[in-house]
Chains A and B, each alone.
Chain A
Amino acid sequence: MELIETITVGSGGVASVTFSAIPATYTDLRLVTSLRGTGTGTDTRIDFNGLTTNQSQIMSRGNGVAASSVTEANFYGIQVTSSQTANTFSNGELYIPNYAGANNKSFSQTDVQETNANGAWMYLSALLWSSTAAITSIKFAPGAGNFAQFSSLSLYGIKST
């Protein structure tokens, strides 16, 4: 596994983070995220190749009170919001097998918040990008506001041979 790029958000925050020009030289991609937003929404949007189409997602989730499962027509992750415990960030992992292949792209995502308070979520998601195009860029953006300073995202490449 090789680090392709790490992006750490600086002072003032940013509206989105994009890994671009991802080389097709690996077999799989692994993304590790640590996110906090300046807004009050927990959603983080994820897009491939600048497209918001052909996305579907199934979430299995729990918040310490109940478990549920929902579907989404777009890709969502979670972040810690500005109204949650200070200095806490979400943790997330995406594993994207065969990201440069000619099949549709199925991948998994695990996202957690833990804030020593009620209302924190854990998501386990199955996601499908119904596209045969190679993934060449990945964009993360908060549903509202910015990613807060010290949010970080790392992209790794994994080769099977």
Chain B
Amino acid sequence: MPATYKPIATQTLGSNAASVTFSSIPATYTDLVLITQSASTGVSENIGLQFNADTGNNYSYTEVSGNGSTAASTRQANFSRANLTDRIGTSVDLGECDIISNIMNYANTTTFKTLISRANTVDTIFPGANATVGLWRNTVAITSITVMQSGSVNFKTGSTFTLYGIKAA
């Protein structure tokens, strides 16, 4: 039976941090799933990802979102990260914001890399149910993932990040 949702690594923050990195990701799976459960120390413009520490403008994303009254869609090309969420307020506490990111065919060395994320914030200030598709224009295998806040905002102590591997066969 193929291995699915095999834990690769999990990190729980012991102190506030601006980012979390999973490094030395093995190439032995087909897809990756990243589960993020976090709270922020301030109003977060968004939470994003970078692969292999690439800070260049090699990312793009398209988002569909709703805040309980309005639905919207935005996109960004030639950006320095793949965003996963809309703005998140400080009323969100631990357990009140989660993001599920599926990163497909991450270890291949011939195609650009795509991901799909679903983010939830049932926040009194900036609520949102979002889905985002992202692209990293690089053909190398993904060996590290950095999940990051925006600006000077940090992830709060107790935020958890878990990376799973999925095998197609």
Contacts and interface: CB of A to CB of B under 8 A. Distances in A.
Interface of A: 1, 27-28, 30, 56-62, 67-71, 95, 97-98, 101, 103-108, 110, 124-128, 158-161
A104 B64 contact: no
A98 B100 contact: no
A104 B5 contact: no
Interface residues of B, number: 35
A19 B161 CA distance: 27
A1 B66 contact: no
A81 to B, nearest CB: 23
Nearest to B65: A60
B93 A97 contact: no
Nearest to A103: B95
Contacts of B128: 58, 126
Interface of B: 4-5, 7, 10, 35, 37, 64-71, 73, 93-98, 100, 118-122, 127-131, 160, 162, 164
Given A69-B67, A124-B66, A97 B35 contact: yes
Given A58-B127, A160-B10, A104 B93 contact: yes
Contacts of B97: 106
Given A71-B69, A108-B118, 5 more contacts: A1-B5, A97-B160, A103-B93, A108-B98, A108-B119
Contact of B66 (A28, A59, A159): A59
B122 A60 contact: no
Nearest to B70: A69
Closest 9 CB pairs of A and B: A69-B66, A103-B95, A60-B66, A126-B120, A128-B122, A1-B5, A126-B129, A71-B68, A67-B71
